[in-house]
């Protein structure tokens, strides 16, 4: 999509919907009424998944997975003006996957309002807003490059890369089947693989860490759970460290 820009403005938690462009989009295209009808049908189908048993099975895990957003002193989201094409502009919050990048954006925003602050926000709620085109989930710059994006790619609007090794799993209590850990950080995924092989570099090199997308993994878990490994979504270790050091427990 062309003509994108982002500027910070204060907004409440109520949002207008916008069309979040796909990471794969390399050019803009005209749409007709039939295209819009198809988009609306797709959006409706996507929102229906939140009523499914599959979503309920993973919502608890996602609720403990923090993203980060900039908020006012009253806990209202700071929204950003997103221009899509030549004539569409929407005000929506950004949820950052990388806490370091979120802190950089906070510093910029505080030039206009020193009371702005960074707050964690659960992935399950952010993902619902993203699916309803009421928010942007911003992957880290490093992650999209590691996933194969060209240097200089704007991460706003890109799909969120996730990382997993299909040969390692987490044992569950109560006789439940093991879960496949899926990481938002490639460094964390590699560390988990190295731990699984007890630091043996030879075995480590034989195991492959593959790239998945956040939305693809969630939608597959929700829509075809019987054909999908049970995932455990693991937040970046630096996100957990930031919360432990800077956010007071309720």
pLDDT in tens, 188-223: 999 999 998 888 888 888 899 999 999 999 988 888
Could you give the CA distance from residue 213 to residue 23 in angstroms, rounded to a whole number?
A: 10
For position 242, what pLDDT does the model report? Answer: 96
Q: What is the pLDDT of residues 228-238, one digit of tens each?
A: 668 899 999 99
pLDDT tens digits, residue range 3-46?
Answer: 333 434 444 332 222 222 233 332 222 233 344 444 455 556 67
| Model confidence, pTM | 0.80
Q: How confident is the model at residue 56 (pLDDT cuts 50, 70, 90)?
A: confident
Question: What is the pLDDT, as a whole number, of residue 57?
Answer: 85
Domain ranges of the chain: 6-246
User: Does the pLDDT at position 88 exceed 70?
Assistant: yes
């Amino acid at each position: 999509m062309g003509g994108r820009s982002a500027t910070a403005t204060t907004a409440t938690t109520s949002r207008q919907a916008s069309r979040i462009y796909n990471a794969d989009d390399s050019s803009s295209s005209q749409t007709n009424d039939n295209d819009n009808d198809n988009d609306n049908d797709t959006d409706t189908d996507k929102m229906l998944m939140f009523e499914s048993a599959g979503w309920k099975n993973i919502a608890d895990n996602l609720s403990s997975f923090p993203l980060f957003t900039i908020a006012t002193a009253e806990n209202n989201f700071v929204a950003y003006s997103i221009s899509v094409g030549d004539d569409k502009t929407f005000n929506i919050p950004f949820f950052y996957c990388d806490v370091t990048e979120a802190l950089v954006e906070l510093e910029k925003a505080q030039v206009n309002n020193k009371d702005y602050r960074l707050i964690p926000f659960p992935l399950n709620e952010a993902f619902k807003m993203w699916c309803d085109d009421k928010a942007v989930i911003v992957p880290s710059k490093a992650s999209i490059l590691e996933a194969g994006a060209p240097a200089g790619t704007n991460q706003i609007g890109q799909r969120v890369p996730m990382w997993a090794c299909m040969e390692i799993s987490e044992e569950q209590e109560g006789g439940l089947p093991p879960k496949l850990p899926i990481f938002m950080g490639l460094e964390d995924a590699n560390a988990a693989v190295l731990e699984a092989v007890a630091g043996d570099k030879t075995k480590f090199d034989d195991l492959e860490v593959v790239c998945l997308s956040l939305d693809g993994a969630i939608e597959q878990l929700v829509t075809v759970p019987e054909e999908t490994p049970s995932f455990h979504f693991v937040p970046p270790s630096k996100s957990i460290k930031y919360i432990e050091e800077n956010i007071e427990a309720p």
